[in-house]
Amino acid sequence: MHSKKLAVVGVATLAALAAPAVAHASPDTSVTVTVMGTSDLHGNTLNWDYFKNTKFTDSKGNDVGLAKVSTLVNKIRAERGADRTLLFDSGDTIQGTPLAYYYAKMEPVDETGGLHPMARAMNAIGYDAVTLGNHEFNYGLPLLATWVRQMKAPVLGANAVHARTGLPAYRPFTIKTMKIKGEKPVRVGVLGLTNPGVAIWDKANVEGRLRFTDLVKSARKWVPVIRGLGADVVVVTAHAGDSGMSSYGGDLPVENASAMVAEEVPGVDAVLFGHAHNEVAQKFVTNKATGRQVLLTEPAKWGQRLSVIDFQLTKKRGKWAVTGKSSTTLNTNTVDEDPKIVALMKEQHDTTVKYVNTVVAQSKEQLSAAESPYKDTPILDYIQKVQTETVRKALEGTADASLPVLSISAPFSRSATFPAGPVSVRDMAGLYIYDNTLMAVKLTGAQLKDYLEYSARYYNQLAPDAPVDLAALTNANGTPDYNYDQLSGVTYDVDVAKPVGLRIAGLSYQGQPVAADQQFVVAINNYRQSGGGGFPHVTTAPVVYNAQVEIRQALIDYATATGVIDPAGFAEAGWKLTRDGKPLF
C-alpha cells in the first residue's frame, strides 16, 4: 500500500479544501445554488466509438464524452452564475474505453509520468469533487494513486479504509464555500461513498490492503461531522444503485444502497448516484428519522447525461436552510463538443486511434457475435480456444497437466465482429470489452452441472407449442448477456422447455457422460472467479492458474503469433438449445 499517496486527510484540512466561490443573495435573503453531476464516465472524453472507429451513436441517438458534458456545464455556469454552481462525479472514471486502457497498460501514467486523459479533461472542465467507483481499482492501487494525485478536485471514498487500521484510505468528504455578497456564505458538503463489491471484483488488487465498509454506516459516521463543520447543504455522491439489492451474496455490505442512505441517514439533502447506468432525473425518498424528502438523481453513463440539482436556501435565525430542491437530467446530444476539450485531448486520442487500428491477423471469413446469446458461435469459440491453450500450456509439467482443460466465456457484445480480412486491436477489444484477467480452477463434474444450471437461468421457459421469439427468450429476470456463461471442451444441451435447475442434459466429455466426481480444470475470468454474478462453486474451488494475464491481450497476442483466424481450427458446436429434447434451431 502506498501510504504516503493514500494518506488520511485530517478533518481540519477537509473543512477548508476548495477555493471559495461567490454567489449573490436576493433581497428576501434567499439564494439558489446548483450542483451538476456526472457518473460512470468510463474513460469517455470525446464523442468517439473506438471499437467502430467513428463518432459514437446508438439506437437512441445518445452522444458520449466529457467534451459534450463540458459544453452543458459551461451553459449552466453562464445561466446560473459560475459562482453558485458546483460539479461532482459519482465514479467509474478511469476504465472502460481503449483510451483509458492505453494509458493504464500500454503507456501507464504511473510509470511514464504522463497525465491521465481523464485527469486532463476533468481538470480542464473544473470538477469540484469526484468519488471513487469500483472500476477505479481495476488497474491496481499505484495507478489509482497517480490519478488521484493528478486530479485537481479531491477524490473521495469515505468507506474505503485501510485493512489494518480501519482509517480512511482516501478523503471522506470536502466542503465547498460560496461567498454571498452582504450575507453569510453558503457551505456545501459532499460525502463520497464507493462500492463494497470492490472487495470481490478486484480482490487481487485490494485484499489485505483495503476494506470497504457499509455505505449507510459510513454516512451515519460522516454526515454529522460535515454538518458540525458548518455545511448548510449535504450531498452524498455514491457509486451505488438505488435498488437495495446486490449482485453478490455473502457477508459484504449492500451493493446498491443509495436509496437506503437517503432513507436511513438524517441530514442528507440529496444523493447523486451511479453504478447502475440508469437515468433517474428526479426521485424523492422520505428519511425515516426526520420525515424530510431526500432528492436522488442518476445521470446515466459515459457522459450521455448531466444531472442538475437546484437547491433553494433561505436565511432562518441567521443560518441558511434548504427550503426547496429539484433536479433534472440534460441530454448531451443537444450540444456540440467543447472545442477546448477536443483540442486538449487530441494527442492522446490520436495515439489511441492509431493503437486500436493496428492489424494483428487476417480472418478467413467474417465472424459475428450477433447470435451468441442463443447459439454456439465461432467468434466466442475463439475466446474459448485462446483461454484453453493459455491455461493448458501453463499447466505443462505440473500435477494438473493430465486433467482435461475446459473454458468458460460469455457473450459480452452482440455487435462484435471479425471482418473477413484484416482484424485489428479494436476488433479484439470490441469482442472482449472488459479488462478481465485469466484464471483457472478445478471443478468436479457435479459442480460443472450446477454451474451450467445456474447459467441457464438466463432463458425464459418456453411452452411446448409457443413460437420462438428471440427477444423474449433471453435475459430472463433481467439477467445480462455477460452473465450467460458458455462452457467449451464438453458437449451439452440446454432445454428451455424445462424449469430452472432442470435444463442441462447430456453433459459429456469426449463422447462419454461426465461423471459426478470427474475432475476438470476450467479457464475462467477473474470477475467470475471472485464472485461476480454469484455463480456456484468457483469462489471456493482450488485455483491452479493465476498469472494475471489480461484476456484481451491474450487474444491479441495469440492472433499476432498465428497471423490467421480460421474457424476450421477452433469452431466447435459444443452446446445447443432444445425444447423437450429437440433442437430449437
Say how many CA atoms lie within 13 Å of 483 toward its Cβ. Answer: 20
Residue 326 β-bridge partners? 310
Do 181 and 68 lie in a common domain? yes
Helix, coil or strand: residue 69: helix
How far apart, in whole angstroms, are the C-alpha atoms of residue 26 and residue 33? Answer: 12
pLDDT of residue 2: 41
Question: What is the pLDDT confidence band of residue 332, given thresholds at 50, 70 and 90?
Answer: very high
Question: What is the pLDDT confidence band of residue 13, given thresholds at 50, 70 and 90?
Answer: very low
Residue type, 259: A
Structurally, how many domains does the chain consist of?
2
339-356 vs 66-80: helix crossing angle, rounded to 10: 170
Report which of residues 25 and 375 the model is more confident about.
Answer: 375
Helices (H), ranges, 90-212:
98-101, 109-112, 117-125, 141-150, 198-201, 203-206
CB of 51 within 8 A of CB of 286? no
**Residue numbers of the domain that contains 342:** 30-352
Do 320 and 199 lie in a common domain? yes
Do 277 and 203 lie in a common domain? yes
Average pLDDT over the chain reads: 93
Do 310 and 250 lie in a common domain? yes
Do 201 and 138 lie in a common domain? yes
Quick one: which of 29, 21, 69, 60 has its CA closest to 342?
69
Which three three-digit cell numbers place residue 321?
436552510
Within-domain flag for 21: no
For residue 345, the tally of other CB atoms under 10 A from its CB is 23
How far apart, in whole angstroms, are the C-alpha atoms of residue 207 and residue 320? Answer: 43
Do 340 and 427 lie in a common domain? no
Task: Give me the DSSP letters along 341-366.
Answer: HHHHHHHHHHHHHHHHT-EEEEESS-
- Reported as a single tens digit per residue, the pLDDT across 249-308 is 778 999 999 999 999 999 999 999 999 999 999 999 999 999 999 999 999 999 999 999
- Choosing from 306, 323, 352, the residue where a domain stops is 352
How far apart, in whole angstroms, are the C-alpha atoms of residue 203 and residue 555? Answer: 23
pLDDT of residue 1: 39
Strands (E) in 384-481, as ranges, are: 405-409, 417-418, 421-424, 438-444
Give the contacts of 498 (CB within 8 A, at least 6 positions apart). 461
Question: What is the pLDDT confidence band of residue 27, given thresholds at 50, 70 and 90?
Answer: very low
> In terms of C-beta distances under 8 Å and separation of at least 24 residues, what long-range contacts does 6-13 make, across chains too?
6/141, 6/145, 6/148, 6/162, 6/169, 6/170, 8/167, 8/168, 8/169, 9/168, 9/171, 9/172, 11/225, 11/229
Within-domain flag for 575: yes
Report which of residues 540 and 10 the model is more confident about.
Answer: 540
117-125 vs 141-150: helix crossing angle, rounded to 10: 30
Q: What is the CATH number of the domain that holds 459?
A: 3.90.780.10
Within-domain flag for 446: yes
pLDDT of residue 29: 85
Within-domain flag for 16: no
- Is the pLDDT assigned to residue 183 strictly greater than 80? yes
Q: Rounded to an integer, what is the distance from CA 576 to the centroid of its chain?
A: 31
CB of 1 within 8 A of CB of 273? no
- Is the pLDDT assigned to residue 66 strictly greater than 70? yes
For residue 415, the tally of other CB atoms under 10 A from its CB is 11
How far apart, in whole angstroms, are the C-alpha atoms of residue 257 and residue 262? Answer: 9
- Choosing from 352, 381, 416, the residue where a domain stops is 352
How far apart, in whole angstroms, are the C-alpha atoms of residue 334 and residue 62? Answer: 9
Within-domain flag for 455: yes
CB of 171 within 8 A of CB of 154? yes
- Choosing from 352, 368, 389, the residue where a domain stops is 352
Do 441 and 325 lie in a common domain? no
Do 309 and 366 lie in a common domain? no
Q: What is the DSSP letter of 20?
A: P
Do 323 and 208 lie in a common domain? yes
- Is the pLDDT assigned to residue 12 strictly greater than 80? no
Do 364 and 343 lie in a common domain? no
How far apart, in whole angstroms, are the C-alpha atoms of residue 552 and residue 574? Answer: 23
- Is the pLDDT assigned to residue 22 strictly greater than 70? no
Quick one: which of 457, 430, 426, 422 has its CA closest to 535?
457
CB of 192 within 8 A of CB of 129? yes
Within-domain flag for 11: no
CB of 409 within 8 A of CB of 485? yes
- Reported as a single tens digit per residue, the pLDDT across 531-584 is 889 999 999 999 999 887 889 999 999 999 999 999 999 999 999 999 999 999
Which three three-digit cell numbers place residue 490?
464438453
pLDDT of residue 28: 61
- Is the pLDDT assigned to residue 18 strictly greater than 90? no
Within-domain flag for 12: no
For residue 32, the tally of other CB atoms under 10 A from its CB is 16
Q: What is the CATH number of the domain that holds 81?
A: 3.60.21.10
Residue type, 565: I
Do 94 and 230 lie in a common domain? yes
- Reported as a single tens digit per residue, the pLDDT across 393-436 is 999 999 999 999 999 999 999 999 999 999 999 999 999 998 89
pTM: predicted TM-score of the whole model, two decimal places: 0.84
- Is the pLDDT assigned to residue 14 strictly greater than 70? no
Within-domain flag for 23: no
Do 374 and 327 lie in a common domain? no
CA distances from 27 to 23, 186, 233, 315, 375 (A): 13, 16, 21, 11, 68
For residue 333, the tally of other CB atoms under 10 A from its CB is 17
Question: Strand 491-495 vs strand 575-579: parallel, antiparallel, or unpaired?
Answer: parallel
